[in-house]
Amino acid sequence: MSEQPLRVAIIGYGMGGEVFHAPLVAATPGMRVAYVVTGNPQRAAGVRRRYAGADVVGSADELWARADDIDLVVVASPNREHAPHALAAIAAGLPVVVDKPFAVSVEQARAVVDAAEAANVPLSVFQNRRWDGDFLTLRKLLLDGVLGEVTRFESRFERWRPTPKGGWREVGGADEAGGLLYDLGAHLIDQALLAFGPVTHVYAEADRRRPGVLTDDDTFVALTHANGVRSHLWVSAVASRLGPRFRVLGDRAAYVKYGLDLQENALRAGRRPDLEPGWGSEDRSSWGVVGTPDDASPAPTERGDYPHFYAAVAAALRGRGEMPVDPLDSIEGLRVIAAARRSHDERRVVTL
């Protein structure tokens, strides 16, 4: 592949495409936003204002005739369309990044992986929360043995949104992969698997708390890992008082951290990592604490690094490394999600 900027086509310009993918692609040296797929006139106007030279097309089908002018396809469409759009890109011979959740089901995801392997097309999944500053801090603490042997991993994405916004994420059926388990839960499960390895047992409570909401908006998942660690994961839109983002208990010390990684809010505000020195750095006042009740100290938060994802993609496409997220990891995450849904429906612990 030449050293000209990689031409990236983004399918979908909702929150994922507008807030995460397009800005991070544009901020990556050696990449540019070349095409955006959206049928929404207001979103199309926003693309043209922000990304000079990007072509806006009304449907994904219009991309495949232009495959020779595209080096990477980013699938940021609604969840139900992730696998079909990924398969179409692979059929056109184009490398693909798929937003999470990778697909609606394990079977769909496997079909995408099989197609990419058969076509020898690079494939990755946008699990950007692997580069949250607090999660990078936790991984460093684990690597350094600061916590000792971990027994319990508590992780939360909680919000207070008592009034539903509507849309497919809150009222869509199972075939649309709506609800918090597929949304924020996909991040928490991916982090738990990455930090503590394979899961043997899953228990879940996936509830609907707000009137008019047809998918889970208040969910708890308990995982038992093969190494004995227990992960307790919460995702909620109705948390009137927020718990800690992380509480990780070891036999030597604990790590407790409040507040979400700041990169999402920065991107929502229109800021970009290539234009902001110190991107991802957290103020000391927001650091977590590591230690015991008798001996605790601040734990400096590692710099958040969402830009790493597309930098690694660019390097991989130029033959200088691997894609940043193995799609098989995301298939394992979907297996856990499927088990969690079954656990809730059957009111029992599910064995994987």
Q: What is the pLDDT of residues 15-68, one digit of tens each?
A: 999 999 999 999 999 999 999 999 999 999 999 999 999 999 999 999 999 999
- The whole-number average pLDDT for the span 159-188 is 90
pLDDT band, very low/low/confident/very high, at 3 (cuts 50, 70, 90)? confident
Q: What is the pLDDT of residues 285-311, one digit of tens each?
A: 999 999 999 999 999 999 999 999 999
Say yes or no: 134 and 246 in one domain: yes
Q: What is the pLDDT of residue 171?
A: 82
Cis peptide before 29 (omega within 30 of 0): no
pLDDT at position 2, please? 62
92 and 147 fall within a common domain: no
Strands (E), the chain: 6-11, 31-37, 55-57, 72-75, 96-99, 123-126, 150-158, 199-207, 218-225, 230-236, 246-250, 254-257, 288-292, 295-299, 350-351
Report which of residues 336 and 165 the model is more confident about.
Answer: 336
Range of the domain at 288: 129-306+335-351
Band the pLDDT of 329: cuts 50, 70, 90.
very high
Q: In this structure, what CATH number is given to the domain that contains residue 64?
A: 3.40.50.720
Q: Which SS3 state, helix, strand or coil, does residue 218 take?
A: strand
147 and 204, same domain (yes or no): yes
Would the pLDDT of 173 be above 80?
A: no
Residue 330 lies in a domain: no
Q: Return phi, psi of residue 303, to 5°.
A: -65, 130
Same-domain check for residues 85 and 180: no
Residues 135, 156 within the same domain? yes
Among 65, 95, 126, give the residue marking a domain's end: 126
What is the pLDDT confidence band of residue 1, given thresholds at 50, 70 and 90? Answer: low
Instruction: Clarify whether residues 120 and 133 are in a common domain.
Output: no
Note the residue count of the chain.
352
Residues 299 and 290 sit within 8 Å (Cβ to Cβ): yes
Q: In terms of domains, do 93 and 116 share one?
A: yes
**Mean pLDDT over the full length of the chain:** 96
pTM here is 0.96
- Residue 195 confidence (pLDDT): 98
Question: In the prediction, which pLDDT does 172 show?
Answer: 77
Quick one: how far is CA 68 from the chain centroid?
29
Please write down the long-range contacts of 139-144, taking CB distance under 8 Å and 24 or more positions apart: 139/194, 139/195, 140/302, 141/248, 141/255, 141/290, 141/299, 142/195
Question: Tell me, what CATH number does 185's domain have?
Answer: 3.30.360.10
Domain end point (choices 77, 102, 126): 126
For residue 42, what pLDDT is reported? 96
Residue 218: inside a domain = yes
Could you tell me which residues come within 8 angstroms of residue 108 by beta carbon, excluding any fewer than 6 positions away? 82, 83
Question: Does residue 126 have a pLDDT over 70?
Answer: yes
Which of these three, 91, 107, 126, is where a domain ends?
126
Q: Which two tokens stand for residue 310?
A: 């597309």
Residue 249, in any domain of the structure? yes
Place of tokens 């908006």: 217
Residues 275 and 262 in one domain: yes
Q: What angle do CA 217, 156, 235 make, to 5 degrees?
A: 10
Residue 320 is assigned to a structural domain of this protein: no
Same domain, 106 and 195: no
- Whether 329 is in a domain gets the answer no
Whether residues 200 and 216 fall in one domain:
yes
Other CB atoms within a 10 A radius of the CB of residue 171 amount to 15
Residues in Cβ contact with 122 at an 8 Å cutoff, skipping those fewer than 6 apart? 95, 96, 116, 316, 317, 323
Cβ distance 305 to 23 under 8 Å?
A: no
The model's confidence at residue 167, banded by pLDDT at 50, 70 and 90, is confident
Asked if 212 and 294 sit in the same domain, the reply is yes
* Together in a domain, 167 and 271: yes
Residue 193's identity, in one-letter code, is L
Answer whether 106's CB lies under 8 Å from 331's CB.
yes
Number of domains the chain contains:
2
